[in-house]
Amino acid sequence: MIKLISAALIALPLLVLSGCDQIESSSKQILSTAADSAKKAIDDTHKAATSALDDAKQDLSMAQPESEKNAEKNSKEI
């Protein structure tokens, strides 16, 4: 009976440690997935913002009267 209890007491910490390793591995995988998702969201947001800015610049340049465009060209040449 004592040998059985001793064996159980020795095996129990090993089981707990192996469970902790599995939890750590799962946590790292979840954090990695979350970081990748966040990076993708940031990249998509940046791409959308850049596209919107380019569209706005194009709309503004189309709406600008010719006299202002010529004045801008002249000021850039100086």
Q: Which domain holds residue 39?
A: 2-77
Query: What pLDDT, on the 0 to 100 scale, is given for residue 78?
Result: 57
Q: How far is CA 25 from CA 2, 8, 34, 38, 40, in A?
A: 35, 26, 14, 20, 23
What are 25-38's pLDDT values in tens digits?
Answer: 899 999 999 999 99
State how many domains the chain has. 1
Q: Which residue has the tokens 């469970």?
A: 19
Q: What is the pTM of this model?
A: 0.55
What is the C-alpha to C-alpha distance for residues 64 and 72, in angstroms, rounded to an integer? 11
**Residue 60's CB: how many other CB atoms inside 10 A?**
9
Q: Give the pLDDT band of residue 45 (cuts 50, 70, 90).
A: very high
* pLDDT, average across residues 35-47: 97
Question: Which pLDDT value is given to residue 4?
Answer: 82
